């Protein structure tokens, strides 16, 4: 390696080091970044707590309904601890961001329809990506009592939370027992077409052996 090459490498190193040093975030910027991270964490925690509280109230209501239901014995025999969420009435919830208009259904805890707000069809009608049975989301649940259930036939408790930055968090909660639930969490940024989808099991080890065999059409399925 000749002298000019060595000098060249040294100059490149000095330039990279100088660039990184000059563009390093200030203490104020680092503090602001940390504040943003703390704010997002606080929003997610608030949404989670609100969803748990709503799920607990809904579970009590379902249990009360079961007390007067003559078919409850058969449902318990078939679904076990999940009997309280095995029956219900399908309800729809519309959620909008700057780019998307989504309709969620509590049956199966899934997105029922999706519309792109900034686009139209060739005849100037709303551009619907999918609707109804054109999309599916289903997870197979194996309980500790060897029952096999499908989330698509169960009824979730729905909570919609809007953060200060207009991010919308939709939590679909399947309440099973005290402080135990299975959550489908959809996070919708205000100006992005991508939706974050997370599955969160809360104290479900005494009810489920595993969550497996995801089945979906239109969209992304994930097990975490």
Three-state secondary structure call for residue 42: helix
pLDDT surpassing 50 at residue 112: yes
Q: Which of 28-42, 106-120, 125-139 has the lowest average pLDDT?
A: 28-42
pLDDT, tens digit, 9 for 90 and up, residues 36-87: 666 666 666 666 666 666 666 665 655 555 555 546 677 777 888 888 898 8
**In the predicted model, what is the mean pLDDT of the chain?**
78
Whole-model pTM above 0.85?
no
- Gyration radius of the chain's alpha carbons: 24
- What is the enclosing helix (H) or strand (E) of 161? strand 157-162
Q: Are 104 and 110 in contact (CB under 8 A)?
A: yes
Q: What is the average pLDDT across 12-30?
A: 60
Per-residue pLDDT, 222: 42
Section 111-124 average pLDDT: 93
Of residues 217, 93, 108, 109, the one with CA closest to residue 153: 108
How far is it, in rounded angstroms, from Cα 94 to Cα 115?
Answer: 11
The residue that leads in pLDDT, 117 or 21, is 117
**Which of 151, 47, 1 lies closest to 9, judged by CA?**
1
Strand order in the sheet with 180-188: 157-162, 168-177, 180-188, 196-202
pLDDT tens for each residue of 159-212: 999 888 889 999 999 998 778 899 999 999 988 899 999 999 998 888 988 765
Please state, in angstroms and rounded to a whole number, the distance separating the CA atoms of residues 101 and 108. Answer: 19
CB neighbour burial string for 174-198, b if at least 16 within 10 angstroms, e if fewer: bbbeeebbbbbbbbbbeeeeebebe
What is the pLDDT averaged over residues 21-32? Answer: 65
Residue 33 or residue 182, greater confidence: 182
pLDDT band at 23 (very low <50, low <70, confident <90, very high): low
């Amino acid at each position: 390696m000749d002298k000019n090459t060595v000098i060249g490498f040294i100059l490149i190193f000095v330039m990279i080091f100088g660039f990184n040093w000059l563009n390093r975030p200030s203490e104020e910027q680092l503090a602001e970044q940390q504040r943003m991270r703390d704010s997002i964490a606080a929003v997610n925690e608030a949404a989670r707590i609100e969803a748990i509280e709503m799920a607990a109230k809904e579970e009590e209501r379902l249990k009360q309904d079961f007390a007067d239901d003559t078919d409850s014995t058969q449902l318990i025999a078939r679904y076990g601890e999940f009997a309280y969420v095995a029956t219900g009435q399908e309800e729809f919830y519309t959620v909008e961001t700057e780019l998307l208009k989504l309709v969620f259904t509590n049956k199966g805890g899934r997105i029922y329809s999706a519309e792109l707000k900034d686009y139209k069809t060739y005849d100037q009608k709303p551009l619907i990506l999918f609707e109804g049975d054109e999309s599916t989301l289903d997870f197979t649940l194996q309980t500790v009592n060897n029952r096999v259930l499908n989330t698509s036939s169960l009824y979730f408790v729905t909570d919609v939370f809007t953060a200060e930055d207009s991010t919308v968090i939709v939590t679909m909660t399947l309440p099973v027992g005290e402080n135990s639930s299975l959550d489908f969490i959809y996070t919708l940024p205000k100006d992005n077409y991508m939706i974050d989808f997370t599955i969160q099991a809360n104290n479900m080890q005494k009810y489920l052996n595993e969550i497996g065999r995801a089945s979906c059409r239109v969209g992304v399925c994930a097990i975490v």
